[in-house]
Amino acid sequence: MVEELDNAEDFIIRQARPGDLPVLVEFVTKLTLHVAGGTAQTLKEKERKKLKDVLSAAIKDDNKMVVVAEVPGAGLVGMGHIYIWVSQGIWEQAGEMEFRSGIIDDVWVEPEYRKMGVFSAMLRKLVAFAEDHKAYELILEYSFSNQEAEATWSRLGFTTTGVRAAAFTSAVRDALSRG
């Protein structure tokens, strides 16, 4: 049984450290399974290593931040990742304009610690990181079927700006053949 986390002092929000990597790999694996749905599966060893390397590089990159939530005595209970995406304006009239966005990814809070404000606390740190890097827009993706994410993001000020559609080629062929 998990104790309710009522106060900010009940958990610590901090940047991830190399020692956190094994748990972070577990979190991203759980997130991938959560998004994919279906039965539990085990990550291939070479994929685990690749994921660990990617997260390890992110921890060291000044343009990225991996944030974790830690409950004293229980260990890590959540993570979130942000990186700064820079693009140049494409219009002649806009001159040398540069656009900066904070891309949020790899968001996970352990099920028994959800709806206690853990992610909101991590998001404060992600927002501060974005603004420190002059990125005043945040972008993220979630599955249409992910109702928890939908509820959380809309509560936290995000609005849907696009929809990703997918289809098997057979379905598209069928649709085309219907004329």
Ligand X SMILES: CC(C)(COP(=O)(O)OP(=O)(O)OC[C@H]1O[C@@H](n2cnc3c(N)ncnc32)[C@H](O)[C@@H]1OP(=O)(O)O)[C@@H](O)C(=O)NCCC(=O)NCCS
Q: Contact positions toward ligand X, by CB under 6 A?
A: 31, 34, 107-109, 114-120, 140, 142, 146, 148-149, 151-152, 155-156
Nearest approach in angstroms of CB 172 to ligand X is 27
Q: Are 99 and 86 in contact (CB under 8 A)?
A: yes
Give whichever of 100 and 114 is closer to ligand X, judged by the CB atom.
114
Question: 50 to each of 25, 55, 82, 165, how far by Cα in Å?
Answer: 10, 9, 19, 28
Nearest approach in angstroms of CB 119 to ligand X is 3
State the sign of the Cα–Cα–Cα–Cα dihedral 121, 83, 112, 26: negative
Give whichever of 90 and 163 is closer to ligand X, judged by the CB atom.
163
Nearest approach in angstroms of CB 72 to ligand X is 17
Closest CA to 121 of 4, 3, 1, 5: 5
Give whichever of 97 and 156 is closer to ligand X, judged by the CB atom.
156
